[in-house]
């Protein structure tokens, strides 16, 4: 199982990152966790075949997580017309996806299958076992647990610290966690997390690999509690002075 980060930042961020989309790749195809604006082009740039897509899971309706979806559906309509694009998510999210596709004139007849799934219950889709948990965000959002081919992956999407992360991460090999900024008071107020929140969530759930993503204009930095050292995770074009 491979995890390919097609796009891994927030709405307003470095132009080379741009939104969120994570491909969970198995031999026979791949699932997309969220579909930010750059996802359609990145699928090809990152060496994936858009016709091998199993489904798209949308965690919430913020544009950096969903605005690539109409384009991806249109790509597949022309490149693999026999294949339906399956879109999965919690019911309130799927209701909003339907409205979005109507608003932008994206056909939804045979091209798209919208699949609402219950929050808090495991659902099997094409061999992937999915569980969604409600997140703590500025709009309705969901934390994801995805298990396939013997591996489980947890994905925070956008959320302030919440108990759902530990629940979703139980026994997982990887936790993909947002780290939108370093000021905890500000981040929690707007429904986001800091790098330290993510590290604490990983430590609490026993996950051994933590991926930090979803920075804004500034790259992710991890302030250390026991020294003056700051660890920076730079992205393309970010500059520091010596």
* Contact footprint for Zn ion (CB under 5 A): 62, 158
Closest CA to 129 of 157, 149, 101, 109: 149
Quote the Cα angle for 190-218-216, to 5°: 40
Q: Which residues pair with 114 in a beta bridge?
A: 87
Q: Which CB sits closer to Zn ion, 25 or 90? A: 90
Of 3, 84, 79, the C-alpha closest to 40 is 79
Taking the complex as a whole, the smallest distance from the CB of residue 13 to Zn ion amounts, in Å, to 13
Q: Apex CA 139: angle with CA 138 and CA 142, to 5°?
A: 105
DSSP state of 76: H
Quick one: 67 or 117, whose CB is closer to Zn ion?
A: 67
Rounded Cα–Cα distance for residues 219 and 198 (Å) = 15
Question: Of 38 and 62, which has the nearer Cβ to Zn ion?
Answer: 62
Q: Measured between alpha carbons, how far is 185 from 84 in angstroms, rounded to an integer?
A: 43
152 or 198: CB nearest Zn ion: 198
Residue 96 tokens read as: 């909003």
Tokens of 27: 């031999």
Residue 74 and residue 104 in contact, taking contact as beta carbons nearer than 8 Å = no
* Residue 52: closest CA among 24, 21, 80, 29: 29
Q: Which of 95, 38, 84 is nearest to 61 (CA)?
A: 95
Specify the residue, 158 or 197, whose C-beta has the smaller distance to Zn ion.
158
Kindly state the smallest distance separating residue 216's Cβ from Zn ion, in Å: 12
> Least Å distance between CB 198 and Zn ion?
15
CB closer to Zn ion out of 54 and 158: 158
């Amino acid at each position: 199982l491979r995890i390919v980060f097609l796009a891994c930042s927030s709405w307003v961020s470095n132009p080379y990152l741009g939104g969120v989309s994570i491909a969970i790749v198995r031999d026979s195809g791949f699932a997309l966790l969220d579909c930010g604006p750059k996802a359609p082009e990145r699928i090809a740039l990152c060496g994936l075949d858009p016709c091998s897509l199993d489904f798209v899971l949308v965690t919430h309706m913020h544009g950096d997580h969903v605005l690539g979806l109409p384009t991806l559906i249109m790509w597949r309509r022309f490149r693999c017309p026999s294949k339906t694009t399956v879109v999965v998510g919690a019911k309130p999210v799927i209701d909003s996806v339907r409205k979005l596709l109507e608003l932008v004139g994206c056909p939804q007849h045979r091209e798209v299958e919208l699949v609402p799934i219950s929050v808090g219950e495991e659902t099997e889709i094409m061999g992937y076992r999915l569980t969604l948990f409600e997140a703590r965000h500025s709009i309705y959002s969901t934390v994801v647990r995805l298990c396939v081919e013997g591996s489980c992956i947890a994905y925070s999407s956008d959320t302030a610290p919440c108990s759902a992360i530990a629940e979703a991460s139980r026994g997982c090999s990887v936790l993909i966690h947002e780290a939108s900024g370093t000021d905890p008071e500000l981040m929690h107020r707007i429904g986001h997390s800091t790098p330290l929140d993510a590290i604490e969530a990983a430590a609490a759930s026993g996950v051994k690999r933590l991926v930090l993503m979803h920075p804004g204009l500034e790259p992710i930095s991890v302030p250390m509690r026991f020294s003056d050292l700051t660890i920076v995770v730079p992205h393309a074009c970010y500059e520091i002075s010596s």
